Amino acid sequence: MTEGHGYTKFFPVSWEELHRHCKALAWRLLDAAQARGGYRGIVAITRGGLVPAAIVARELNLRMIETISCSTYNELERGSKVNILKTAEAALADEGEGWLIVDDLVDTGVTAKAVRALLPKAHFATIYAKPNGRPMVDTFITEVSQDTWILFPWDQEAVMSKPIVELRSGL
């Protein structure tokens, strides 16, 4: 999955860590909301932004949640083109004015750039940011290196691990 894409590090994130980071993001966004006069609602970038958006919406007591569905992965080349599969209709009318965009991660910035083009006046927030995409977002919690693959909890499953002695002996 990550072979050939320049990822040399892995950053596994547990459900508990993700929840803690989402709450930290909500604290930062609360200050930004007060400066902007509040948020009308959230636009979650699917699929990765759905869980963070739900947590942030709860913490900021926002009930209006829209989604924008994007696809940037294809079988031949990751991130070569952004396909907008569904737009956030309620947020489009005012170019996102008063709306909060939430995603799990900004990586290369390709998706963020496409969403920003649709909603240029929205406040863009992510949990994680990589250097290439960081300029595209207004608020984030944790920066990771560009060569790091973030393993989100929804991309992991619990499996039995081998005891160290078996790993060493090659059993």
Of 31, 94, 104, 155, the active-site residue reads 104
103 is catalytic: yes
Q: Are strands 99-106 and 83-86 parallel, antiparallel or unpaired?
A: unpaired
Is residue 31 flagged as an active site residue?
A: no
Catalytic residue among 31, 94, 107, 138: 107
Identified catalytic residue from 31, 94, 103, 138: 103
For the chain, state the CA radius of gyration.
Answer: 17
Which among 153, 162, 155 is positioned nearest to 17, based on CA atoms? 153
Interacting residues of 93 by C-beta distance below 8 A, sequence separation 6+: none
* Amino acid, res. 160: M
Q: Is 138 a catalytic residue?
A: no
Active-site amino acid positions: 103-104, 107
